[in-house]
Structure 1
Amino acid sequence: MANVAVIGAQWGDEGKGKVVDWLASRADIVVRFQGGHNAGHTLVVGNQVYKLSLLPSGVVRGKLGVIGNGVVLDPEHLLSEIAKVTAQGLKVTPENLRIAENVPLILPLHPAIDKAREVARGASAIGTTGRGIGPAYEDKVARRAIRLSDLAEPEVLSHKLDELLLHHNTLLKGLGAPVFEKQVLLDRLLELAPLLLPFSEPVWQLLDEAHHTGKRVLFEGAQAVMLDVDHGTYPYVTSSNTVAGNAAAGSGVGPKQIGYVLGIAKAYTTRVGSGPFPTELKDDTGRLLGERGHEFGTVTGRPRRCGWFDACMVRQAVKVGGVEGLVLTKLDVLDGMKELRICTGYEVDGQVLNRLPASIAAQEKAKPVYEVLTGWSGSTRGARSYAELPAEAVKYVRRIEELVEAPVVLLSTSPDRDDTIMLRDPFAG
């Protein structure tokens, strides 16, 4: 049986939480391999709703959760999240949660810099969540990050804080923001050390052993391909690589161990924050999609921008993300709509393109080229087999498959994890 990697195929918020939860019941280990607590997963289990940002979704199903080295970890947020799910009846201990010893940490100065820079940008703000994700990744690349393993060595930690603050306090002063005192940071990190270090593990070794013993691993991505720092709508992107290829680098396994790549896409399109959005609807239809789909960010609470399904963009995500099969979510949101549209390309300066160009100016000019389909009057909500779907809904799904050049292998028809139509088993490879 193959491992599976799950990634978003749009701009995030596609419903990865439910899908990962559904797949986690059949996996042994669930690994987060990039991002931080700027991404939220909502899991509905019976009458209980779990909102996770850092914890791998598998912990809800009693599976071993792993936070890989490709993640940037906010210790305070992690402990807060553990406390919340503990209050909901879950048990999170080093028995079911392991954290890569080389994972970089988000410190209080990182969100401070994040927010100060957004304020300085004014109208040009890129729409960051202000959680410090970007500055933490910058420190990692600049080789000045504090990593989990550093908490076990106070002298090393003290020296690394000197270097860190030399850079960041200079920047904060320049932005007119308060600076940070080393001793306050050092004292707090040393307080956190005994709480965090029991979870520390050479995760690459753990996953190598899992590979040799035939365990199934589910790699859980955050954000989505079109927010990838290289392949997304730069600079309106996240600060990490969100494509499936990063599941290997972000967890410490070889690329062949990633297994089957599953892309998640909504039956329409949403985006949070700034950046180009060719199929965005600022009319009653857009508002209707937002209301029906309850489109508010899990982490930020910000309303999501809504628009028609963009097959051109998803096809691009399929290609660069290595997607082998697609999960289509929230099909039920389109119930009762007389007419549906799918974007098949973009018109830019009189030329029709079959890709979203890398140029910011071209992205802003891109006008969607639409194909119109007939909607359906029946309900798809809660359907658990293709036979329960209206004929026009099936046609809509089939047309999406043709346009994005990937088969729909799972179809989600409500937030409930069991309201899922499986057309192919991802773990079968």
Structure 2
Amino acid sequence: MPALVLLGAQWGDEGKGKATDLLGGSVDYVVRYQGGNNAGHTVVVGDQKYALHLLPSGILSPGCTPVIGNGVVVDPSVLLSELSGLNERGVDTSKLLISGNAHVITPYNVTVDKVTERFLGKRKIGTTGRGIGPTYADKINRVGIRVQDLYDESILTQKVEAALDVKNQLLTKLYNRRAIAVDQVVEELLGYAEQIKPYVTDTVLVLNQALEEDKVVLFEGGQGTLLDIDHGTYPFVTSSNPTAGGACTGSGVGPTKISRVIGILKAYTTRVGAGPFPTELLDEDGEALRRIGGERGVTTGRDRRCGWFDAVIARYATRVNGLTDFFLTKLDVLTGWEQIPVCVAYEIDGKRVEELPYSQTDFHHAKPVYETLPGWSEDITKAKSFSDLPKNAQNYVKALEEMSGAPISAIGVGPGRDETIEINSFL
């Protein structure tokens, strides 16, 4: 049963879209299992660039069925807008499947997200303001709206009333905002129901039957390991589980059916939003990485914070996800540096620490311990095999592999679909 999980091994934005797209032509299903339209993927096909926010990257691969699993939170307006944009560009979106158990991001979830962040001021988390966290909170509090609820107006109305009983108190008495009308929310949500109905199904059944028929299923995570609600740099995290375990709960496919877990690593490190970042560069090198790497969030439009590669984080990702392989992206961005520092450990209170500290306080005070590797100046974007890379680039990849704890099976040497060196097949 060839089921693969593909996820971010850092703080997200590692290039998962490119990796998924590379495999898209060889797999039958690509499944988003968590997150929402706070996670963006950029996929370059020929001279065309596609920015995907909610849809699985597999939607760009003919013959592949893209699936939005039960663990995803869905903003219907964003979904329909994204589908429309792809249709206008000639992309066939008719095979998309959406779990009836996926939760819906409502207008009041977006409102609560934005006003809460403003209220927190300097203590804000750095959310995208798209209602993701409040929707997951509603899910856990059992007052959430699921996709299937859009097809029963009575149940939908009751659920919206129950949710707004509390939220309107919060909005009016704490945040000094106007109350939100129940009928207005119900009317808006019902307006989406028929438009998305052709895509809604029991995706748990579909995916398990596909695996029983020896179909290849790829599970695509949003964000990254260090943004996981349980295993990330809490509280500066997302509200779901991008780690490998989330693939099972977010899709309804059991862990014994997963055959490989592939972590996507950028050849340096980036982060969007607030939170600790030991290798962050606030100098010319950081600005150069941002400029050369085009480091701007696909969904948020925010500049990404940039830093050198952090092997401590990579080792942690290997452990908590049970990674079998790495896909190293954006190696080409490092071309031109004479020396490239790599963080191999942290210094915390004068002591060398080689594993990620479990204490939030310790991690906030972690200082990177660097080893410097020789760089290269040759253009590597035309490299087709590992041996085509300059010797120093080869040595850099080998060093990262040894430090990270899992084999690097593919290397991105440019943004294009064909600018990838495949060392070992993922299938």
Q: Which TM bucket (shorter chain)? A: over 0.9
Residue 384 of structure 1 and its aligned partner are, at CA, apart by: 1.6
One-letter amino acid of the structure 2 residue matched with residue 225 of structure 1: T
The answer as to whether partners of 2:2 and 2:214 remain within 8 angstroms in 1 is: no
Letter in structure 1 aligned against 2:29: I
One-letter amino acid of the counterpart of residue 269, structure 2: T
- Cross-structure match for 1:81: 82
Aligned to 1:64: 65
CA RMSD, Structure 1 to Structure 2 (Å): 1.0
TM-superposed deviation, 1:7: 0.3
- Determine the structure 2 residue equivalent to 1:129: 128
Q: Is the 8 A contact 1:233 1:358 kept in 2?
A: no
Unaligned runs of 5+ in 1: none
Aligned to 1:240: 240
- Per the alignment, residue 344 of structure 2 pairs with 344
Write the letter of the residue equivalent to 1:92.
T
TM-score in terms of structure 1 length: 0.97
2:380 counterpart residue number? 380
Are the equivalent residues in 1 in contact too, given 2:2–2:215 (CA < 8 A)?
no
Q: How far apart are the structure 1 equivalents of 2:358 and 2:114?
A: 27
Which residue in the other structure is 2:210 paired with? 210
Task: Tell me the secondary structure at the aligned position of residue 104 of structure 2.
Answer: coil
TM-superposed CA distance for 1:65, in Å, is 0.7
Q: How does 1:4-403 map to 2 (within 5 A)?
A: 4-62=4-62, 63-93=64-94, 96-173=95-172, 174-403=174-403
User: Contact (CA 8 Å) 1:6, 1:263: kept in 2 or not?
Assistant: yes
Greater Cα offset, 377-386 or 365-374? 377-386
Q: Contact 2:227/2:242 (CA < 8 Å) preserved in 1?
A: yes
Q: How far off is 1:236 after superposition?
A: 0.4
Give the secondary structure class of the aligned counterpart of 2:118: helix
Q: Which residue of 1 aligns with 2:407?
A: 407
Q: Distance in 2 between matches of 1:60 and 1:76?
A: 20
Unaligned runs of 5+ in 2: none
* 1:2 to partner: Cα distance: 2.1
TM-score where L is the length of structure 2: 0.98
CA distance in 2, matches of 1:336, 1:196: 48
**Deviation of the 1:363 alpha carbon:** 1.6
Q: Which moved more, 1:162-171 or 1:140-149?
A: 162-171
Task: State the distance in 2 between where 1:379 and 1:243 align.
Answer: 34
Separation in structure 2 between the aligned mates of residue 401 and residue 208 of structure 1, nearest angstrom: 33
Question: What percentage of aligned pairs have identical amino acids?
Answer: 47
- The one-letter amino acid paired with 1:35 is G
CA–CA separation in structure 2 for the residues paired with 1:406 and 1:177: 51
User: CA offsets per residue over residues 296-342 of structure 1, 9 Å max, x none?
Assistant: 00011111111100001111011102211001000001111000111
Contact 1:263 1:323 in 2 (8 A): yes
Any conservation in 1 of the 2:2–2:211 contact (CA below 8 Å)? Answer: no
SS of 2:43's equivalent in the other structure is strand
- The alpha-carbon deviation at position 258 of structure 1 amounts to 2.4
Give distance in 1, aligned partners of 2:401 and 2:272: 25
SS at match of 1:58: helix
Check conservation: 1:234, 1:358, Cα contact below 8 A. Answer: no
What SS class does the counterpart of residue 426 from structure 1 fall into?
coil
Q: Distance in 1 between matches of 2:85 and 2:2?
A: 33
Deviation of 1:356 after TM superposition, in Å, equals: 2.3
Kindly state the Cα deviation for residue 97 of structure 1 after the two structures are TM-superposed.
0.6
User: AA paired with 1:214?
Assistant: D
Q: CA deviation at 1:377?
A: 2.1
Match of 2:114, as an amino acid? K
Inter-partner Cα distance in structure 2 for 1:165 and 1:291: 44
Q: Secondary structure at the match of 1:237?
A: coil
Superposed CA offset, 1:367-413 (max 9, x none): 00111111112122232211210000000000111111111001010
Number of matched pairs? 425
Over residues 81-126 of structure 1, what are the superposed CA-to-partner deviations in whole Å (9 max), with x where a residue is unaligned?
0111111111222xx1110111110011111111101101111111
